[in-house]
Every structure is written in C-alpha cells, then in structure tokens.
Structure 1
C-alpha cells in the first residue's frame, strides 16, 4: 500500500485545480508531497528541484522573455501592432490568422518552434492585429466577439505548432512515438515518422483554414 502513497500528489493537483488555485503553486506543492511520500527528505526534494532546473536551463529563458514582452507592451507594442494592420484595408481577422497559421506550421516543421508562441507573439502581436482587422471590417466589437477573436488567435498558434513540429524529426515527440511503437514491434525511423506527419499537418491546415474563413463570414454576418 505504501508504494501507492506518492500517487497522492495527483490528488493535490486535482483538488488545487478544482478550487482554482495558482497552477504553479499547485504543481509545486504536488511535487513536494510526492517527494516526501516517496521517502525523500525536505532537503533532498529541494535538491531534486534544483537539479531538474539546472538540467533544463532553457526554462530560464522565460524569465528573460516575459519582462521584455512586458516592457514592450507597456510602451505601446499592442497599439503599434493595431495601427500597422489598420493600414491594410483588405485585411481581415481570418486572412491574418491564415498567414500566421502558415508561418507557424512552416517554422515548426523546420525546428524553429520557439520563434513564436502565446507569450511572445499571440498576446502582444497576433491577437491585437486580428482584433484591429476585425474592427476595421465590421466596426466596434462586443466583448464576446473580442474574446472569440483572441481564442481563434491562440488556437491558430496551437494548431500550427502541434501539427507542424512532428514534421521535424529531431524532436522529443517523434522519439516518444518511435519508442512507443517499438514496444509493439513496429520499428520506424524518426525520418519515416516525420514523413507520415505531413498528411496530418496538411489536413490540420485545411480544416483550421476553413474554420477561419467561416469565422470571417460569421463576423460579417453579425455586423449586418
């Protein structure tokens, strides 16, 4: 029975998210609980945290990117993005997001996953530009419609990254798929898996592209 005690850390995550506590605090508390129930001492748990952080130093980039984005937003990055897109009279939210979808998939497919993302492009650039394009075409938007535009902006990034990155064979998800298939005696090289990811990426681009076109039409219909 004691072997199952560390699984109580999962319960901490479930309860923490259920009562809407800070996700970072919830995950940290769950990790500490798991470590202590597994027989580790408090110092050993902290050392494990430090080692994991040191072994994955790319995490530290977040602490550089976020303040930089915050300063740019403070000094008008979103406003400049909205002003820029307002100069293109034929720009619509759907067309803009279609371009971003293509950019996100192509760059992810060649291994440049970190060139875009929610904190560095969607929030400060893509979403404000999509909102400006929608307002330019359809006038002032209500709060619900604004939130939809933001949601489509975030979803476009997710679709582009998720289905684009698997085309790049030197990535952890490809290795995970390869090792999982190997347990069932299905032996494929990372390159073969990457090739098989291309049809899924194309299908995802077409399906989400249609959703963006339909979203443009719904905005136009609502404005009439």
Structure 2
C-alpha cells in the first residue's frame, strides 16, 4: 500500500517545476515519464500514450501558426491601418471604444463566434486602437497610461470571453456543466444554463462600461488642458 504513494511523484514534480518557473512542457513530460517508470509502464507504452495525447489535443498547437501569421500581418501595416481608422472617428474615447469591444465580444460569445483572442486580436488590433483613441483626444500619453490601456484591453477580452461563452447553449462549457449536473442527478438543459448565464453577462457589461467611464474621467483630469 505504501508503494502506491510513489505513483504521485508526477504531481510533486509538476508543483516543484511550476514553483521554480521551469519550462512547462518539459516539466509535464518529465512528470509523466517519472510516473510511468514507477508504475511499471514500458517506455514504448509511455511514448505511445504521449503521442496519442498530442494528436488528440493538436488544436493546442495552433498558436505555432497564429504567432507568425500575426507577425506577418503587422509587418504589412495591420496595426498602422487600425490606428489610422480609429483616429478618424471623432469623439471616440478609450473607455467608449473598450466598452463597445466588450459588448461585441459578449455578443460574439452568445452566437458562438470565435472573434477574439489575445495574440490574434487584442495585441495587433484592440490595444493599438484603444491607445490611438487616447492619443487622438489628448496627444502623447505617458508609458504608465499606455500600460494601463494595454491591461484594460486584455481585461475586456477576458470579461467578454469568460462571461459571454456560457450564454450559448451549445458551448463546450455549457455542455460540460449539463453533463456534470446530469451525473449528479440534476436534470437541466443547455438552454437552462444559457438563461442563467445571461444576467451575469449583462451585469459584467454594466460593470465594464462603468469602469471604462471612470478610466476616461481619470484621463480627462490628467491630460485635458
């Protein structure tokens, strides 16, 4: 019985590796290998399972394609065109732009449209456009506020994605909730989960708009001449 505890060595390795901030993929593979060795799993079987997991979850590696594609688009003026476009919109503030993006992001989640994402959407488009709206109104802004705008752009993506995705009754998270509750004896449907998620999504929109309005007021006090 005591020897069974040694099979938990993989968890220990993962915890230690994460605490020491070592390479995540290397830590996970080493943890899996250590677990296999103490569990009398042959090297061939371990490699077979590792390869099967990689193939089954190959969508995770899409970022290898996303990053160079975004870099290529930026090198051909994607960011500059986005900035020029936003500067032509008169009266658009940073807060109002980010509020509009939050609403669009939640609506996209409700319709199960894969719109956003930090590397492919926020970094090359949303953040530069939010920053451009501030510069169009106030001129040059300092680095501290640029970082805050960058953080708020990322936050709007997180809010919209997190609170909007479960408003679509066939979303993966909704189906997981339905399946889990069904196993526990609670008979619900995806529509029930979506309905319950909508008030929370609306509350997040209101909070996001208020926070963005407060941010606009702070920029006004700091830069308005």
Shorter-chain TM-score tier? 0.7 to 0.9
Q: Which residue pairs with 1:191 in the alignment?
A: 191
Check if 1:144 corresponds to 2:144.
yes
Change (3 A) 1:118 1:6: farther
Given the alignment of the two structures, is residue 76 of structure 1 paired with residue 81 of structure 2, yes or no? no
Number of residue pairs matched by the alignment: 223
Structure 1 gap ranges (5+): none
Q: Distance in 2 between matches of 1:34 and 1:125?
A: 43
Equivalent in the alignment of 1:86: 87
CA-to-aligned-CA distance 1:86-115 (integer Å, 9 cap, x gap): 222312111111111111111111111x32
Distance 1:151 1:39, change over 3 A: farther
Offset of residue 204 of structure 1:
1.1
**Cα gap change, 1:37 to 1:95, in 2 (>3 Å):** farther
CA displacement at 1:60 relative to structure 2: 4.4
Deviation at 1:156, TM superposition (A): 0.4
Residue segments in structure 2 that go unaligned for 5+ positions in a row? none
Worse overlay, 90-99 or 25-34:
25-34
Q: Matches of residues 26-105 of structure 1 in structure 2 within 5 Å?
A: 26-105=27-106
The 2-side partners of 1:161 and 1:29 are apart by 33
Flag the 1:198–1:35 CA change in 2: closer, same or farther, 3 A. Answer: farther
Alignment TM-score, normalising by the size of structure 1: 0.88
Equivalent position of 1:177 in the other structure: 177
Query: How much has 1:149 moved relative to structure 2?
Result: 0.6
* CA distance, structure 2, for counterparts of residue 52 and residue 76 of structure 1: 38
What is the deviation of 1:134?
A: 1.5
Offset from partner CA, 1:17-75 (integer Å, 9 cap, x none): 33333334444444444444444333333322321222234334333322211111223
Which piece of structure 1 moves more, 126-135 or 26-35?
Answer: 26-35
Computed over aligned residues only, the root mean square deviation of the Cα atoms, in angstroms, reads 2.2
Distance 2:161 2:209 in 1: 14
Aligned counterpart, 1:11: 12
Aligned twin of 2:107: 106
The alpha-carbon deviation at position 183 of structure 1 amounts to 4.6
Q: Cα–Cα, structure 1 residues 116 and 182, in superposed 2: closer, same or farther, change >3 Å? A: same
Which TM-score applies when normalising by structure 2?
0.87
